Structure formats: structure tokens, C-alpha cells
Chains A and B, each alone.
Chain A
Amino acid sequence: MKAPAFSYVRAESVEHALELLSRHGNAAKILSGGQSLLPALNLRLAAPAVLIDIGRLDELRGIKLRDDVVTIGALTRHADLLTSEEISASLPLLRKAAAHVAHPAIRNRGTIGGNLAHADPASEFPACMLALDARMVIRGEGGERRVNARDFFRGIYETALEPHELLAAIEVPRPQPGSRTYFHEFVRRSGDYAMTGLAALAHVDGAQLGDLRLSYFAISDRPHLARATSHLVGVEITAERIAEAQAELDAELDPPDDQQASAAMRRHFARLLLFRCVADVLGRPELAMEAVR
């Protein structure tokens, strides 16, 4: 199981990378951390003519806090998200999620930009970015553009990136003080891809939810922001309310049926996660108990 032959170019700058991209077009693949690309190459599921290695571009690295936005360079590694104090303080959802991504040796090389550009529907970070309403900063030879997470993920391994473009950074609005996050995924083994998962951001207003963004993954061809939360915002939360939201959620989902999980299981897990999330962010464990019944 050896990778097919390809050429390799190490980009000297973002401009150089963009120039290489426009020269090679679809024949080229960006190599960032390589933790999704290399398995595909070794299994000969991908056969690019040229790899453009952006791994040494320091301008794509780093986590910056400015006003109400956290800018995360595309080359920020999963391991960095786990250890960064800025992330812990500002975006705890990403820290929670990073702990679930694969294993330490993979987190040491895998990058947030590579992960998001790969757009695996079972991956944790795309859903987090959707929950956090992040913007993708995309560089092309024509300049820079920004795409919201909800528009960035287009399908299985499909994004809004054009062949000649590069994901340079992610701008994440800092959640309001007092906001709460929830992250859980159903995996058979630690570090596996999720059967279904949820990344959520909530604003708790007394006993009520001021806002609730439930971003599911491994439930569709891209992360899914539940519309059913409208039933739960600004109202007194009861088991009945949650049941209504569940039914609504069920109606809006069309999950795939595959080896990892059946569609029915994914629906079941999604409903369960809604319950558990609301119970968690409101600090009302009795709601989750009711859900089990």
C-alpha cells in the first residue's frame, strides 16, 4: 500500500502557493498536515499530479484575538487548539472538540485549515465552525474573500473553495459572555469518526435560552444547523417543548444510512443529543432523564 507517484513543491509564500495552484489547477492538492490526504494517497484513493506543501508558511499560523473576533490561522494544529490559552478562554467549544479528533500523534500534525477544507461530514470542526458562525478567510490570486461557515460546506468533501483558492484563516466571533457550549459525539471507540455528533452554542437567559445553535455532524453531507431550536428559544423549557423540538428536528433531517450507523440510529442520536444538550446548558439533568423514558 504505497502512494502513487506525484511531484512535490514546497510553497515559499501564500502568493507562491496560489501561483502554483493556478498553474496546476485540479491536478494539484494542497498538503497541509496531511492527516487526511496521506491515508487517501497510501490507499490510492487519490492520485494528484502535484502536492503543494503549505506547511512551512508561518503567515498561516497562529491564533490572534482582536476585538470580538478570534482569528485562527489555517495551519493551527489540532494540538494547538487543545493547549492554546486563547482558545480555552474564548472558544472552549473548539477545545472540547479537539480532544475528540483522532489521537495525539495525529493532532500533532493535523491542521484546522486542512480539516475544514477537507470537509468530511463526520468531522468535528466543520460543525463547530457552523455553531460558532465562523467566517472562512479565503485567499485567491484575485485577493481575499470571506465565506460564512453555513455557505462554505457544500457536501461530502465539497466546499466553496475554488481550485485556485486557499483557506488562509478562520475568523470566529467571540461568543457573548455567559454563553455556554456543549459538545458530544457518539463514537464506537475513542478517536473514531462520529456516528452522530453535536457542537452547540447557547445563550442562557435566566431559566430560558436566549439563543441556541445546534450544529450536528455525521448526520448529513455537511454540518447541519438545526432549525428546530426556534421552539426552544425564549420559552420556558419543559419536556413537552423539547419533544416538540425533537419532532421538528426529525422532520428536517434526512440522515444517511451507512456502515457506521443507520438513518434511524442517527435520528435517534440527534434527538437524544438535543435533549442532553438542553439539559446540560440549562443545568437541568432531570430533563435528560425524562428523555431516556
Chain B
Amino acid sequence: MISSNQPKCLTALDRPNSYIGQSVPRPNLARLLQGRGQYVSDLVLPRMIHVAFVRSLHAHARISAINTEAARAMPGVVAVVTGRELADVVTPWVGVLSHLKGLKSAPQHAMAIDRVCWQGEAVVAVLASSRALAEDAAEAVEVSYEELPAVTDMRSALDPATPAIHPDLGDNLAFERNHDAGAVDAAFAEADEVVEVEFVFGRHTGVTLEPRSVVADWNAGERRLIIYQGTQAPHMVQNIAAKHLGLAEQQVRVVCKDVGGSFGIKVHIYADEMATYGLAKLLRRPVKFVADRVESFNTDIHARDHICKGRIAVNRNGSIKAFEIDDLTGIGSYSMYPRTSAIEANQVVNLVGGQYTTPNYRARARVVFQNKNVTCQYRAVGHPIACSVTEGLVDLAARRIGMDPVQIRRLNLIGDDAYPCASPTGLRFEALSHHASLQKLLQMMDYDALRAEQARLRGQGIHRGIGLASFIEVTNPGAAFYGVGGARISSQDGVTVRLDAAGSVTCYTSITEQGQGSEAITAQIVASGLGVSIDRVRVVLGDTDATPYGGGTWASRAAGIGGEAALQSAKMLRGNILQVAAAILQARPEDLDISDNAVVDPSSGERKIELSELARIVFFRPDTLPPGLQPEMVATRHFVPREYGFAFTNGIQASWLEVDTATGFVSLLNHWVVEDCGTVINPQLVDEQIRGGVVQGLGAALFEHCIYDERGQLTNANMADYLVPMAAEMPDIAVGHVVTPTKESELGAKGAGEAGTAGAAAAVANAVNDALSPFGVSITEIPLTPRVILSALGRI
């Protein structure tokens, strides 16, 4: 294990001029910095028309009549299409996975047919020559509704008196999971102390700055649908679109260039996107759908919205004896397709207590339908809930027994020498570094000095708090996530590397780029693995016609899975090149290597032949090569981890903040993160992933909340009322690393995309409670608004 501020690459990867472990600037930044990116919202095609959806005003209602006559007569209108008409083109779907036993949902159509189940569900599509004209005509569509009772409160959704949203399903329980490990009852009975509390997590959403955008282009001559979409998973979109439009997969091409943020928002199949594909086919021309911001709030997946009861058993010596949770989450009116809306609760069950040694753990999770927008997988799925519950309970237990929060963690975190081992839910940990990470964090933040400052300021009536949150993070998922449940979502990725005629390299990868740096790390790995300078490597991604088949970029898998495929394909091409070089140079391949764009003698470094010269011979003078030698200047490799279902990573965060106890306002002063994502391919990119993730967690902790009223109306569906974190309120964030590579791959990289979001809210909540400890107050609800804090303090 290597522990340092500036993580170094592994020696096995440390080829001459290796880019692995270097903070190489991303090659695509110049374009983005000049405003010359190509986002789907920028795309214009000949004969393209724009769609605006008439959306339900009600959370639950029967559609009694639709009159589109006036709308059809409006200027610029090309077509007005109802849900019933579109159902002839797009078949319905049910968002379930077979490995989530008992998960049920109802058939969902691209647009509502006779009933709307949440406010914002699309009812009628209006297509016109401009978005403005489409919106004008949408206002002229008359939809008559008969309102139905709306199920909005998840606490009463399962009451017998509450009507089932989908009567055919019998009740509003979409999914339930129970887990019982060890001897939980005995542990609680015998423990010195038991702390029990209810945690409340507000519903929030992703707010990608570029809204969801699609241009669907049906070429009736080719009988082919090209979907230009900002998506994280092009092959998944290809599969689903083909399936529900009655096409063969090869009739669908998905193209994804620049994407203005995703975070899990753009890894799903949305009804209105499916409608857009269908409308293009129906109307035989390109159709553009760009969600506006209000539509985004009403229809982009929401996340969290959990009420989780938690219990912890602890002895006075600090030994944690058991965890128990009872989690309830409201997922809206359908289970999202195709990844389902049960994954988050499932993750919560999986992850709670997973960083601690106690084998005693009981969990129940119930997932219920409501007449609200759907929830689904958004960055760090389940992690923030699990981390906040676990770490909140641990802090409350420490407070109960009068122990420092650091000490209780030292006593109970799984030892760094205990691996491999498994969690009470059966998660298998290859190698984690909780204690090394904690130690490093304490050094970075100078914990003892902060404690002293806290005490000094308390004397002046200034209330500052320190909050810690350790966590485990699911990355590099194999087929266990979706594939085993029957979803055609690839868990393997592929990379093709090609030496071109001028000696440069083109690389095609199935992972996608939404700003994480997929393109950069692929170029780094290929350049390093092959032995060329990075400026010679061009990376192509986001096109199902061009790249190998693969999963894409989600669940912190791109670097660990796509990166390994890149390394192996580069190595294979290197072997192919050296074979040719050996023939040209009359040497043995094993006595040659590639470095700095030339075939070299590895012992002396002598440049034997430039790659450009080799390529010239291969492509233009193959007649000069020895007979029987057929150069293969293209290599493809695929990869998926097989030994472990997931590559778990770990980390710990700390927050230092001040609570104005007169106003309930929280000022974030500092934030630290130490995480262990294995081999760090590009330290700067990892750090910025962490920082961005932290701020999404800080948003959840303090600001973000989709506020529904009791009638199921989202009351703050705009950016003035839904508060995202902005620059002025956010702290600087220090990031450190411990490096424990996975042995599943030669690269050794695990994911880093969830870590920041996983622990930030827990750290803040613990810090707020630490700051408020003189008041005997503890708050287990986020967002921690001034109202929540003032109420807890009894000031209002």
C-alpha cells in the first residue's frame, strides 16, 4: 500500500514516459473552453422540428377528453400527437429486474393514455417548426381531467385505506427486502447502550446544467433511426429504443458527443425521450426535444426521499455490537426503466454498517409508489443514505458513551489487515484502508488543533462543529448490478486501438464522456501502454456505429473497466507492432519496445525505427515486408472484473463548519476527503471528481429539496426556488489519497465518482450536531435548513 499526498503510479505500469499517475490536462478542454463543444442542444438537422409536451397538471387524474383541433391550426405546427396515437409506434415497458425478487411496477407508456400518475407526465406532443411555436400550440391543446385521489405521503402509502395507484398491483408496495445477519436481538439486549433515531432525507434531483436533450432522426429510406442524445449508456439506449420501436438493434444508431452533465440523470430511459424516438419514426423526420428547466425539475429522475429508522447497540468501551435499520422510500408512480427504482433502497440495505466490524445487522427496506415523479439512480445511489445513517448512529453512540468520534471509529472500523473479508450483507471486500484513511484525514485537518479552537470559540458563543463520515463505495460493477436481473445493460467494456498510416493512434472506447475525463484517461492509458506521446492519440467515443460494445460511464466504472480494456488493447497493439518491427529490423520482438513514438532498444533506449516510418511501410510498402507477415495494426480488448462483483473503495470525509445559533444558518468553513480508489490514473481528475461530488452532497445537506405539497404538486420547480449549491457558500475542499490497487486488473484502478457525494452530507450533519452539542440537540434530517435548525433549537 502506498500512502502519499501525490499518489504515484504502480511500478508495473511505470513504463518509460508513462502518463499514468500524471495530471495530464484533458485533450477535449480547449474545445469546451472556446464554446466549441457539440452538445445535443446545439444540434440542427435539415427538416428538424421541435417537440413540446403538454404535461399533466395533476398528480393523479383520469384523462376524459383531449381536443387538439385548435392546436393543429396554430402557426408552424406540423403535428399534434396523443398518447394513444403514439402507442401504435412505441410499446410500453415495465421497470423490473428479476434479481430484485418481488419488485413490481405497472406498464408505462411513452405518453399517458387514459390516466396521468404524476404532475408533469407527458400527455400530448406538439411538433412545430420552432420550440416557441410548439409551446404556443401546446397552450391551445385542451385536456379534460377528472382528478383522482393522489397518494403522496410515503408513510401512509401502505395503509389499507390508501388506494393502490395501480389497482392491478394490489397495493403500493413496489419492493421489500429483509436481511438479518448475526445475532441482532441478542446484541441489542446485551449492549450497554442502544440509540434509536429516525433519519429523514429530502427528495432532490440532479439539475444537470444542460437539460436532457434528444434529436431523433428516422431515415425512412435507410429504415434507420439515429438518436443523438446526451446519454451515459449509448448501447443501452440502442437496445431499448430498438426493442420498443419494433426495430432490430442494427437499425438504431446512438450518437453522443458532448454532454452537459449527467450524474446518473442521463443513464435512464425517459418516457418523453422514448416518445421523441417514436415521433421521429411516425413523422419521418428529425425531432428535437430539449427539456426546459421546469420540465427538468418535473421529469428528470429524483432521488433519495427516504425515512430510515436506525438503531445502534454499543458498549461503554466503545465496541459497536449491532446495527438495525428500517428504511422507507417513495419512488413516484412507476419503477424507472430499465434500471428500476428499487436499487437505491437495495443499496442502503447493502451498505449500512459496511465499514464496521460488527457481524450483527438487520435491515428492512420498503419501496412504495406515490403520485410523484419517479426516483431512480442519481450519483452515489444509496451511499449518502447509508453513510448518513451509519455515521449518524455512530456519532450518537459515541456521544451517548462520552467517547470521541475518532476513537469510536478507530475501535470499530474494519482493520486494514483484515482483508479479504465480507460484510454482514455478503459484500466482499478485496482490500480497503479505513484506518490509513482516517489517520491521513486527521493529519490533513489537524484534528486536535481544531478541537482546541472549537473549545476556545465556544467560550465566545461561537458554535463550530467537526463531523466525520467514513464510507464504503461501490465501483466497477460487474453483471451483478443489472445483467443478472435480465437487463441488457452491458457490464463489460471494449476498446479498439488502431495505428494509423502517419503513425498516430485512434482509439475507440465504449465508455462515454460527460466531463469526468474518460477521454483523457483513455488517451493516457493507451499512450502509456503503447509507448506513444499523448498528443498522437485521438479518442473516439459515444457512437454505437463506431465503438466496441459496452456499458458506458456510470456507477464509477469507466476508469476501472474501460481503462483496463484500453490498457490491454494498447498492449496487444504494441505486441502486433513489435512483431512487424522485429521483421523489419531483423530482431526478436521481445528485444524491442515502443517508447516516445519509436521502436527502441529497451536496454539502450536507442531509437530503431519511428512509428511513422513503420506505419508507412505497413500501409504503403507492404511489399517490402517478409512473405507471410500480415500486420494487424488494430487491436481490440474487452474487460469485466470477474472475481469480485464490485470493486469496493473506501474513504472518509470531515466537515468543519459554524452554526449561527441565532439564525440557524450554517457556514461551511472547510472540508477534507481522503479516499482510496486504487491506482490513480490522473490525480487531478480524481481530485476534481471528489470535489464535485462533495459539493453535490453539500447541496443535499443544506439546500436541495424537491418540495411537493399534499396534492402532489412540485412547488419549487425552478432554479430560484430549488436551491443548488453556488460558489459563494461552498468551501475549499482538500483531497488526499491512500492507494490500494485492485488485483482484479493490471491497471489496479477502482472508481471515484461516488465518493464525494457518498459522505459529504453525513459529515455536515455530524458537524452540525457536534456544533449544537452544548444545546443537547441532535438533528437527523436533511436538508439542514435554517428552519430545521431553529426549530430544533426551540427558537421558532
Contact = CB atoms under 8 A, between A and B. Distances in A.
Contacts of B796: 262, 264-265, 267-268
A291 to B, nearest CB: 7
A157 to B, nearest CB: 15
Contacts of B400: none
Interface in B133-179: 135-136, 139
Interface string B658-681: 000111010000000000000000
Contacts of A39: 720
Contact of B662 (A1, A5, A188, A291): A291
A43 B718 contact: yes
Nearest to A263: B796
Interface residues on B, range: 20 to 34
A55 B665 CA distance: 39
B51 to A, nearest CB: 13
A162 B750 CA distance: 66
Contacts of B139: 4, 44
Contacts of B132: 2-3, 5
B515 interface: no
Interface string A242-265: 000000000000000001011011
B131 interface: yes
Contacts, number: 66
B135 A2 contact: yes
B716 interface: yes
Contact of B136 (A4, A190, A191, A262): A4
Q: Is the interface of A mostly helix, strand, loop or mixed?
A: loop
B795 A268 contact: yes
A265 B793 CA distance: 12
B728 interface: yes
B723 A189 contact: yes
A269 interface: yes
A49 interface: no
A164 B295 CA distance: 37
A56 B132 CA distance: 27
Interface residues of A, number: 28
B790 A1 contact: no
Interface in B721-736: 721, 723, 726, 728-729
Most A CB atoms within 10 A — which of B132, B295, B662?
B662
Contacts of B795: 268
Contacts of A190: 726, 728-729
B720 A188 contact: no
B8 interface: no
B293 interface: yes
A50 to B, nearest CB: 17
Contact of A261 (B131, B662, B721, B787): B787
Nearest to B705: A259
A289 interface: yes
Instruction: State the 6 A-B residue pairs at the shortest beta-carbon distance, nearest first.
Output: A1-B292, A2-B132, A190-B728, A264-B796, A292-B662, A268-B796
Interface of A: 1-5, 39, 43-44, 186, 188-193, 195, 259, 261-262, 264-265, 267-269, 272, 289, 291-292
30 contacts: A1-B293, A2-B130, A2-B131, A4-B139, A5-B136, A43-B294, A43-B718, A44-B135, A44-B139, A186-B786, A188-B703, A188-B786, A189-B703, A189-B728, A190-B729, A191-B728, A192-B720, A195-B786, A259-B715, A259-B716, A259-B721, A261-B786, A262-B787, A262-B796, A265-B796, A268-B790, A268-B796, A269-B663, A272-B662, A292-B662
